[in-house]
């Protein structure tokens, strides 16, 4: 407490404005709410923003006061998942950590005298601008953390199952091809998190369950790239999607139907990534059955399908696994691995060619596009990492991977 009061006193007496603040979740560390193989909901490590961490250390070395201001609720903090605990595990030193307990951060940033703040939430940006208009002496610049990092060449794509077993696909706004939702993996991100983030950005909702399916080498404009494939699940039925899905500019429309309806809607107008996904599903009808309501043996089937029972492959004809992604190098020591942590680590280069005999059909739908601010995760307890430090298992912009084919 004495150290805390001393910091506040120094801030109030500071005349050089050397105070920088950082949001925590999705700014320093990335995570998403997911279910493990036992169906238990927990936050899963999704990577780190290395550029933000570099800036924190650089500011500290220069003598700048660095603080974390998070909207987390202190009542939901667990000692082994708290912000301070995670920062310590990652070797990140800051002067103090403040909680707003779900309230906007603008007033706290004003009180601290922050002159630069990094935050991923557009609503926080708007709130800070509004507060600045009321306080002329509030001189602060607000930046998005992901502006500091760039897309990698690899992509994360997948299909999403509704609670009544239907499949959601998206229509690209550039080519009007039907595609599997998802996009490029950003620097420092884990593939599952990239899929979760891209779905949220493109369709406006959070996937409640993300499962790794396979990784293939595909070709786009003559260049190879790794495509990580997933399937996700939401707790909404196909009849509840209107008003739940909020399309952004990258997506012209969406379609939801059963397997046969998806194939019919695709016609000859689908990306290679979506064709890859549909062929994988076709070769494993158990996958569709496992996502139907009240399916018997749901967990056992899913384990067999996605390899959690250490099956050697997905079983899809002509589609071979080229990479098992394990725990990222960006994950601090002690963080749990990915879904494939203990699987064989081999890489094979292949070129995917898929031929379809679907009837020619092209359907263009126009839908009013809305831009939805990304909301903060505010459910359950905080946060993703308490079962990961002891070795527990956790499992684009524009050209978001395109068709994935030549």
pLDDT at 3: 56
Q: Domains along the chain?
A: 17-147 (3.40.50.1000), 151-306 (3.90.79.10)
Q: Is the Cα torsion angle 307, 311, 314, 320 positive or negative in sign?
A: positive
pLDDT at 364: 36
Angle at 147 between CA 233 and CA 132, to 5 degrees: 105
24-35 confidence digits (pLDDT tens): 999 999 988 787
Distance, C-alpha 154 to centroid of its chain: 14
pLDDT at 240: 94
pLDDT at 35: 74
**Per the confidence metrics, is the pTM higher than 0.95?**
no
pLDDT at 401: 57
**pLDDT band, very low/low/confident/very high, at 76 (cuts 50, 70, 90):** confident
User: Could you tell me if 122 and 371 are in contact, meaning their C-beta atoms sit under 8 angstroms apart?
Assistant: no
pLDDT at 347: 33
pLDDT at 7: 55
- The mean-pLDDT minimum among 70-79, 218-227, 333-342 falls in 333-342
Cα 203 to Cα 38, 87, 198, 372, 375, distances in angstroms: 27, 32, 8, 9, 13
Residue 399 has pLDDT above 70, yes or no: no
Percent of the chain with pLDDT over 70: 67
273-298 confidence digits (pLDDT tens): 999 999 888 877 776 677 777 554 44
User: Could you tell me if 68 and 24 are in contact, meaning their C-beta atoms sit under 8 angstroms apart?
Assistant: yes
Question: Which token pair is 242?
Answer: 């209107």
- DSSP code, position 81: T
Residue 342 has pLDDT above 70, yes or no: no
HSE, side-chain direction, 13 A CA sphere, residue 372: 20
Find residue 253's DSSP bridge partners: 171
More reliable by pLDDT, 250 or 327: 250
Query: Distance (Å, rounded) from C-alpha 52 to C-alpha 71?
Result: 18
**pLDDT band, very low/low/confident/very high, at 45 (cuts 50, 70, 90):** confident
Residue 369 has pLDDT above 70, yes or no: no
pLDDT at 211: 87
More reliable by pLDDT, 59 or 384: 59
Query: Distance (Å, rounded) from C-alpha 21 to C-alpha 391?
Result: 31
pLDDT at 354: 33
pLDDT at 388: 37
pLDDT at 289: 73
Cα 109 to Cα 87, 97, 112, 116, 220, distances in angstroms: 20, 12, 5, 9, 45
């Amino acid at each position: 407490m004495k150290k805390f009061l001393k910091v506040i006193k120094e801030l109030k007496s500071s005349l050089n404005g050397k105070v920088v603040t950082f949001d925590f979740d999705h700014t320093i560390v990335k995570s998403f709410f997911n279910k493990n193989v036992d169906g238990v909901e927990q936050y899963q490590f999704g990577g780190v923003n290395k550029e933000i961490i570099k800036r924190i250390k650089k500011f500290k070395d220069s003598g700048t006061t660095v603080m974390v201001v998070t909207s987390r609720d202190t009542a939901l903090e667990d000692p082994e998942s708290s912000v301070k605990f995670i920062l310590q595990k990652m070797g990140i030193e800051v002067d103090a950590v403040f909680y707003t307990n779900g309230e906007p951060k603008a007033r706290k940033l004003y009180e601290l005298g922050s002159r630069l703040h990094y935050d991923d939430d557009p609503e926080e940006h708007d709130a800070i601008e509004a507060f600045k208009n009321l306080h002329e002496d509030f001189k602060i610049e607000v930046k998005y953390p992901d502006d500091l990092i760039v897309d990698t060449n690899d992509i994360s794509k997948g299909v999403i199952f509704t609670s009544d077993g239907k499949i959601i696909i998206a229509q690209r706004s550039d080519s009007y091809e039907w595609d599997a939702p998802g996009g490029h993996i950003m620097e420092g991100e884990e593939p599952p998190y990239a899929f979760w983030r891209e779905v949220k950005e493109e369709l406006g909702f959070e996937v409640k369950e993300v499962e790794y399916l396979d990784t293939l080498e595909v070709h786009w404009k003559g260049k190879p790239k790794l495509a990580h494939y997933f399937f996700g699940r939401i707790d909404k039925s196909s009849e509840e999607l209107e008003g739940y899905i909020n399309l952004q500019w990258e997506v012209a429309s969406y379609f939801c139907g059963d397997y046969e309806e998806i194939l019919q809607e695709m016609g000859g107008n689908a990306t290679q990534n979506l064709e890859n996904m549909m062929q994988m599903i076709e070769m494993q009808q158990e996958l569709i059955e496992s996502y139907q309501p009240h399916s018997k043996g749901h967990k056992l089937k899913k384990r067999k399908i996605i390899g959690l029972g250490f099956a050697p492959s997905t079983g899809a004809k002509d589609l071979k696994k080229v990479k098992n992604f394990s725990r990222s190098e960006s994950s601090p020591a002690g963080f749990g691995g990915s879904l494939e942590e203990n699987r064989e680590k081999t890489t094979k280069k292949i070129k995917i060619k898929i031929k379809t005999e679907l009837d020619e059909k092209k359907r263009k739908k126009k839908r009013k596009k809305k831009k939805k601010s990304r909301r903060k995760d505010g459910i359950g307890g905080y946060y993703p990492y308490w079962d990961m430090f002891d070795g527990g298992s956790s499992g684009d912009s524009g050209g978001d991977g395109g068709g994935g084919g030549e």
